[in-house]
Structure 1
């Protein structure tokens, strides 16, 4: 009789344990399913952000990751702007062109590297109607960008506007971008390569002579609403109106806006 009672007790305990384990399995399955769903939603959210950045082709500073990203096809709406051509601006093309493309750029920005030939294509295509002004906007997340910008100013100091553009074009073409794509140790040798006196260039660069000049460009760009690179502003000098186009848009997008300015205004 005692053995039968013990057997019954054991079976009850086994039954309770079975139900407990079954309940635990159900709860665990629910929690795992819920966690998986959240992970999927998070991955899609992050994927969407990454894709929008890639499509827009714009690099923002690390602390500006939530900046709005422009659409792929910009809606043409022009605004009055107080952006002006400065005496120390670096101009590629006709100084008296009706339309000026102001580019706020970072020589370590991969999207700026991608956009560089597009800007040149615009100048070449519109033959005297559009000029390109290069202004500095080195991002803090790119370790070498500030010094590279200063180096281009030293090139301008020693060789004028022609040397500036030759220096910028060469460095932009060679850097692998990303922050340290062009070694700081190679800045002076590059100056020598394009025909400048290396010793004088190095003295200029080491002195930090143009550090504030670069920072002034950054401050002006920020005032005008630039938050990433390449930050582009098309100015119609005839009407004083402008169009901000932040990002490495393809030539066709710029052509749409430029043609609108030329043919309508």
Structure 2
């Protein structure tokens, strides 16, 4: 008797259209995640890097600049010549306190304009530098510590020389060049390198960053003009051109006169 051969059950058929839909959906999710991540990063950079946009700061004629917005209030620690990096008269009524990042391109732009502010106000205004190194600038934190090492070895004048050397060397400066800049600032290169390599002043730099963040600093450069007599302040956010910064400074001075 012949055996009956059973047909095997067919395998479940694969719908090509449905399969392609799943693939496209997966690709879409990945692309969406990447776009969202990039948007977050760009938004953070815009807020964190601070300053006026390259097309707005320091371009055109002074008459073309829009009037600065009314300065907001930021409650920073009172400037202290015994604790801060201080330049100018210790009896100055007004102190220009800059929260800055050595690698920030907007800070370099503002640095290039600072000479005008110093000349315009003379002994009426002193200057203080506080560290605010942004996490996405890898050279900023080592440069901040380097300036502190120089200050510890050579005093206030050496600090300000190093401050100028670093900004003048940016944006092409590498961390390996800090020793040479320290030597140009007047301190022993070997002693400086020992300080830098040992991680000294990490806590001080971090403390200034934390203090600035707590006070409301959100971008670099941010400068606070502090009236030592009344405690009143005015804020300069970003790399404003001299004429715009002067309007803000003069506004505070007119209140105290």
| Same-fold call, TM cutoff 0.5 | yes
Is 2:122 the partner of 1:127?
yes
Which stretches in structure 2 are left out of the alignment for 5+ residues? 1-42, 58-64
**1:189 corresponding residue in structure 2:** 180
> What is the Cα deviation at residue 220 of structure 1?
0.7
CA contact (8 A) 2:95 2:128 kept: yes
* TM-score, structure 1 normalization: 0.70
- Residues in 2 aligned to 1:173 and 1:82: alpha-carbon distance in whole angstroms: 28
> What is the Cα deviation at residue 111 of structure 1?
0.4
> What is the Cα deviation at residue 194 of structure 1?
2.3
The alignment covers a number of residue pairs equal to 202
Within the candidate set 134, 141, 144, 2:136 is matched to 141
CA contact (8 A) 1:119 1:132 kept: no
Is 2:54 the partner of 1:54?
yes
Is 2:200 the partner of 1:214?
no
Give the secondary structure class of the aligned counterpart of 2:173: coil
**1:171 corresponding residue in structure 2:** 166
Is 2:240 the partner of 1:249?
yes
Alignment of 1:21-40 (within 5 A): none
Which stretches in structure 1 are left out of the alignment for 5+ residues? 1-45, 58-70
* TM-score, structure 2 normalization: 0.72
**2:189 corresponding residue in structure 1:** 198
- Residues in 2 aligned to 1:170 and 1:156: alpha-carbon distance in whole angstroms: 13
> What is the Cα deviation at residue 132 of structure 1?
1.2
Q: Is the alpha carbon distance of 1:203 and 1:74 closer, same or farther for their aligned partners in structure 2, counting shifts above 3 Å?
A: same
RMSD over aligned Cα atoms: 2.6
**2:152 corresponding residue in structure 1:** 157
- Give CA-to-partner distance per residue, 1:54-109, whole Å, 9 cap, x none: 3566xxxxxxxxxxxxx953333564845301332111211221111110111111
- Residues in 1 aligned to 2:130 and 2:189: alpha-carbon distance in whole angstroms: 24
Higher mean alpha-carbon deviation, 184-193 vs 137-146, is at: 184-193
